Amino acid sequence: MVSVSMTVNGKAVSADVDPRTLLVQYLREHLRLTGTHVGCDTSQCGACVIHLDGQAVKSCTTFAWQAEGANVTTIEGLADPNGPLHPMQEAFRENHGLQCGYCTPGMIMSAVDMVYRKGHELDDQTIRHELDGNICRCTGYHNIVKAIAAGARAMKDSAPALKAAE
Amino acid sequence: MTATGIGAPVRRKEDLRFITGKGQYTDDISRPGETRAVFVRSPHAHARIRQIDTQAAAAMPGVVAVLTGADLAGDKIGNLICGWMIHSTDGSPMKMAPHPALADGKVNHVGDAVAVVIAETLAQGRDAAEKVAVEYEVLPAVVDPGKAQAKDAPLIHEMAPNNTIYHWAIGDQSAADAAFRAAAHVTRIDLVNNRLVPHAMEPRAAIADYDAGTEALTLWNTSQNPHVARLVISAFVGIAPEHKLRVIAPDVGGGFGSKIFIYPEEVVCLWAARRVRRPVKWNSDRSEAFVTDAHGRDHITHAEIAFDANAKITGLRVRTIANLGAYMSTFSSAVPTYLYATLLSGQYQIPVIHCTVDAVYTNTVPVDAYRGAGRPEATFVIERLMEVAAREQGLDPIELRRRNFVQSFPYQTAVASLYDAGDYDASVRKALEAADIKGFGQRKRDAERRGKLRGIGYSNYIEACGIAPSAVVGSLGAGVGLWESAEVRVNPTGSVEVLTGTHAHGQGHETTFAQLVSERLGIPFENVSIVHGDTDKVQFGMGTYGSRSGAVGMSAIVKALDKVEAKAKKIAAHVMEAAEGDIVFKDGKFTVAGTDKSVDFAGLALQAYIAHKFPTSEIEPGLKETSFYDPTNFTFPAGCHICEVEIDPETGQTDIVAWTAVDDFGTVINPMIVEGQVHGGVAQGVGQALLEGAVYDADGQLVSGSLMDYSLPRAEHLPPIKVDTTMTKCPSNPLGIKGCGEAGAIAAPPAVINAITDAIGSEDIAMPATPAAVWKALQKASAMRRAAE
């Protein structure tokens, strides 16, 4: 067993885990944060994307111990549970950017990271290229692309606050 | 139209939980004291099991039990079944081989389950599974369906000589042969409809829990039809009587057909949970999904179409070999027969059609329904034929189609389907306009200047949804009826819960069904909840597949709402001391005609429950009604999709530069959701045409067995998709709905291939049209041109 401690969604957590424990297993099974999903076993689908120290990371390909001391944000912590939704979450709902919802948490976490890296004016081509690591089987991506473009613009006003919150 | 009624693009009720990570998928559920199941699977396509040694595994840390097929047989657990009987042309029944949930002496495909380890943790289960020692005698494998019936092919199941499940036919052979003898022109093609792996993003999962006090089992599983799962597991597999088995399909992350079927894993979890007296959870990983989820398509077809001198179709002949894999999955037999050959007439008047289908066993994963199920295969046949025939006869492909369209309805096809309504030319006109066909020549010349090949391809598909009525599907071999149920519960405060036998796994029923109820009862959309997916809540239902939930499921709700209104009017008459015939219900209000006396829906609901103002000897208190609705016919959505591609001749890379979809789905409840269904369907069809293919090697190993090797469409593979609709109401159900879930996946493959073949000037291309395949086709075509010169 190894001991791990980190901050998840603003809360300090620690545990003794089997060294094989993946970060996604730690989040889902130990912390019961089941919003982060596992859709594949080859790091292709992106359903497991979370933010590790403010950057998008596939939590299925990260050991829990690799997040030692890190600041982790999952879909559950993207917005204050008592406040409004994150603009990207709202954009996915408004633009019908989800159907079965399984890939959605990873899509939203990747989308927010995309805005951090690429800014608030994202064209169709950029969004599609940047989404290479996230697979959706339901939507044909059409409305996900629309949602991300809209969410990126909506994040403009609240950008510093959102980033600082992580 | 109200803001939340029928036809409004209402934002979805279900989204809040999904965008905040609060969805409850099966793997998100955890039971106290649960154990984990890990399956030991065959690494061989075809082998006899000499012995299984479980001793070392059983001694590993955390292991609760190690179980094999012998234990399953010892407990008299029955086989999995295929629920649709097909008879061969000689009258003999299909050859359904035994399918035990754990292999019994022989394995028949890579991934076939041989044993299961039940352990305290997943890691301990995996460690122990590696210690299960299975000694195999490897047998030669049958992999290619085209060779499965050869005299020297290895035999997979003793009871199915020549690996043949059935030899089935539809249509009039001698009339078809006569049409071909008299034809002015005949077009012939050979096609392979490539084998696909469905890949809902949520892998399958199951948790079984046994309550020793009540001797009842509960199963949470990733199912599109929990009641059918309960029925099969109870009545055929014999795990528990139906009333002692509760099946819950919570949030399900996509299905596309693959979660209709009853699989070995959920059966084993239930059986093991009762044996070990603890909850047992299994969650498939993606690699396991590749070799256990039922695959789709996999047809080899030769097709011929005959024309008279005016390019009017005079006959169609089709021969298909359908690969059903190692065992017959739940509905596998119906897919290449009644869901395929009955649609071969397409949108056209074809006086005679004859089709034969040989369904064969191979040492591959079972094949069953995948989005479209049979209809994409039929559409690929007829729409490739039409395109090639137009080119051969020097006709515009749209002109050839128009010359042969079905024009008046109802239209009886030569293959049993009775088309009820449609206007195929209306979709074509709208699609040609939206795709700017007039500008295509210029776009092609511009592409040429950039060294690119530009092509355009059409697909005028038709499909059949909402398969019914039950007596008809029964006469075709179905073991079940295909009606749907609904229960409308009005609460005393006027809010409404609707219990439906359908199941949503991305389709948005919680929204669209609520739109119907809100409009019909004149109550706020927010006051309606839709309940589904739990056999303890919903009495019975047939589930969701084949785009049936709107046409059949919502019709059942309409019928139940009719009953609610009828009873409410009776109560309103007493409450307002008027004659029942004078009560008018409109905009959520019961009014006495010609007066200002009225009671709103919530007020009436309260009256129904307090029961103070009507004689309970005549009218029972309460307001709750149920309906079981059986439609009068299939529905027939149809439309026109146009695909425009640009190909780089240096690399063979195909880019889809534009997509236009114009579909006739009948009444549309929520256009936003319908458009989303079209987008997703097109993406899966484009995946089939350009990217996806399950590839087995000669030994039966799945070479494309991970998402590193099997290419699913990503955002960059797809263009923005233009979606529009036309509308002819479906006469077979009260709302006029036809269904939209499968249309894109059905329409897309021939549109893409017709566009590529238009661009490269060669018909010689198979799916998936990868860059390598397109490049080779280009090289071959230019070599042939050089040779001809």
* B139-188 per-position pLDDT tens digit: 999 999 999 999 999 999 999 999 999 999 999 999 999 999 999 999 99
A-chain CB neighbours of B28 within 8 Å are 28, 34
For B628-643, what is the mean pLDDT? 96
Q: What is the DSSP string of B1-14?
A: --TTSTT--PPPTT
Segment B665-679 mean pLDDT: 98
Number of domains in chain A: 2
Residues in chain A closer than 8 A to B286 (CB atoms): 39-42, 45
In whole angstroms, what is the distance from residue B358 CA to residue B167 CA?
5
Give the domain CATH number at A31: 3.10.20.30
**Domains contained in chain B, CATH given:** 31-139+202-253+259-292 (3.90.1170.50), 299-467+633-788 (3.30.365.10), 483-629 (3.30.365.10)
| DSSP H or E run through B731 | none
Of A40, A85, A137, the CB nearest to B254: A137
* B-chain residues near A82 (CB < 8 A): none
Among the listed residues A38, A101, A69, the one whose alpha carbon sits nearest the alpha carbon of residue B13: A101
Find residues 41-100 of chain A whose CB sits inside 8 Å of chain B. Answer: 41-42, 44-45, 47, 74-76, 79, 85, 89-90, 92-94, 96, 98-100
| Domain end position, chosen among A77, A100, A128 | A77
Q: Do the beta carbons of residue B234 and residue A133 sit within 8 Å?
A: no
Structural domain includes residue A94: yes
Distances from the Cα of A160 to the Cα of A152, A155, B79, angstroms: 13, 9, 60
What is the distance between the alpha carbons of residues A14 and B774, in angstroms, rounded to a whole number? 54
Same domain, A99 and A57: no
Which pLDDT does position A164 carry in this prediction?
A: 62
Q: Is residue A107 situated within a structural domain?
A: yes
What is the structure's pLDDT at B467? 85
Is the Cβ pair B16, A140 closer than 8 Å? no
- What are B60-99's pLDDT values in tens digits? 999 999 999 999 999 999 999 999 999 999 999 999 999 9
- In angstroms, the CA B326 to CA B90 distance is 23
Instruction: Give the residue carrying structure tokens 């409809």.
Output: B193
Q: How many helices (DSSP H) and strands (DSSP E) are in chain A?
A: 5, 5
Instruction: Please report the pLDDT score of residue A157 as a whole number.
Output: 80
**How confident is the model over B291-345, as pLDDT tens digits?**
999 999 999 999 999 999 999 999 999 999 999 999 999 999 999 999 999 999 9
Judge if A93 and A52 occupy the same domain.
no
Q: Is residue A29 part of a domain?
A: yes
Please check whether residues A93 and A156 belong to one and the same domain.
Answer: yes
Q: Which of residues 115-174 of B touch A (CB under 8 A)?
A: 121, 123
Cβ <8 Å between A32 and B716 = no
> Which pLDDT does position B115 carry in this prediction?
98
How far does Cα A9 stand from its chain's mean position? 12
What does the block give as tokens for B454?
């530009």
A149 touches chain B (CB under 8 A): no
CB-CB neighbors (< 8 A) of A143 in chain B: 676, 679
Same domain flag for A60 and A98: no
Q: State whether residue B62 sits within 8 Å of chain A by CB.
A: no
Q: In this structure, are A52 and A113 located in the same domain?
A: no
- Which residues of chain B does A139 touch, with a Cβ-Cβ cutoff of 8 Å? 676, 679-680, 683
Of B14, B202, B720, the CB nearest to A102: B202
Mutate to test the interface with B, among A138, A143, A144, A145 (most CBs of B within 10 A): A138
Predicted pLDDT at A166: 67
- Candidate from B18, B22, B707 with C-beta closest to A98: B18
Q: Which among B19, B20, B286 has CB closest to A42?
A: B286
The residue-averaged pLDDT of A18-22 equals: 95
Residues A58 and A105 in one domain: no
Which region, left, alpha or beta, applies to residue B533 given φ > 0 means left and ψ of -120 to 50 means alpha? left
Q: In this structure, what CATH number is given to the domain that contains residue A161? A: 1.10.150.120
State the Cα–Cα distance between residues B779 and B757, nearest whole angstrom. 14
Option in B30, B506, B715 nearest A138 (CB):
B506
- A61 and A107 in a single domain? The answer is no
Look at residue A156 and tell me if it is in a domain.
Answer: yes
Q: Quick one: pLDDT at residue A165? A: 63
- pLDDT averaged over every residue in chain A: 95
Q: CB contacts < 8 Å between A and B, how many?
A: 180
Domain extent at residue A62: 2-77
Residue that terminates a domain, selected from A48, A77, A106: A77
Structure confidence at residue A163 (pLDDT): 63
- Does the beta carbon of B714 lie under 8 angstroms from any beta carbon of chain A? yes
Residues A71-89 have pLDDT tens digits of: 999 999 999 989 999 999 9
- A158 or A37, higher pLDDT: A37
Share of chain B above pLDDT 70, in %: 100
Domain limit, last residue, from A56, A77, A98: A77
Q: Give yes or no: residues A44 and A100 share one domain.
A: no
Would A82 be classed as within a structural domain? no
Residue A121 sits in the same domain as residue A53: no
Verify whether the Cβ–Cβ distance B203 to A39 is below 8 Å. yes
pLDDT of residue A159: 60
At residue B788 the predicted structure's pLDDT band, cuts being 50, 70 and 90, is confident
Q: What is the Cα–Cα distance from A12 to A9, expressed in whole angstroms?
A: 8
User: In the predicted model, what is the mean pLDDT of residues B358-382?
Assistant: 98
Q: Do B21 and A35 touch (CB under 8 A)?
A: yes
Task: In whole angstroms, give the CA distance from residue B461 to residue B347.
Answer: 7
Task: Answer yes or no: is A55 within a domain.
Answer: yes
Angstroms from B722 CA to nearest CA on chain A = 10
pLDDT of residue B426: 98
Minimum-distance CB partner of A142 among B201, B684, B721 = B721
Check if A124 contacts B (Cβ < 8 Å). yes
What ipTM was estimated for this complex? Answer: 0.97
Residue A160 has pLDDT above 70, yes or no: no
Distance of alpha carbon A79 from alpha carbon B19, whole angstroms = 11
The answer to whether A10 contacts chain B (CB < 8 Å) is no
Mean pLDDT of A17-36: 97
Between chains, do B19 and A89 touch, taking CB under 8 Å as contact? Answer: yes
Asked if A102 is an interface residue toward chain B (Cβ–Cβ < 8 A), one would say yes
Tokens 């510093």 belong to residue? A160
Mean pLDDT computed over every residue of chain B: 97
Do A95 and A53 lie in a common domain? no
- DSSP character string of A40-108: -SSS-S-TTEEEETTEEEEGGGSBGGGGTT-EEE-GGGSS-TTSPPPHHHHHHHHTT--SS-SSHHHHH
What is the reported pTM? 0.97
**B19:A93 CB<8 A:** yes
